[in-house]
Amino acid sequence: MDSPASPIQPDQPNPPSGVSAAQARQPFSRPSRSALWHGLALGLLVIGGAIYWFVKPPSLNLLADPASAEALALVQTHRAKQAPTILQGVNEIARSREARGAKTRLGQWMVEKQAEDLYIVKVMFREQGSRNWVEREYTWQVDLKDKKISALSMPAIDLMPEVDLAPLNPAMPLPVR
pTM above 0.75, yes or no: no
CA distance 4 to 60: 77
Question: What does the mean pLDDT of the chain come to?
Answer: 78
Report pLDDT digits (tens) over 122-156: 999 888 877 888 888 999 999 999 889 989 988 88
pLDDT at residue 43, rounded to an integer: 92
pLDDT at residue 141, rounded to an integer: 92
pLDDT at residue 46, rounded to an integer: 92
Give the containing element (helix H, strand E) for 135: strand 133-143
pLDDT at residue 33, rounded to an integer: 84
Report pLDDT digits (tens) over 35-76: 889 889 999 999 998 888 777 665 556 667 788 889 999 999
Q: Are strands 118-128 and 133-143 parallel, antiparallel or unpaired?
A: antiparallel
Residues 129 and 122: beta-carbon distance below 8 Å: no
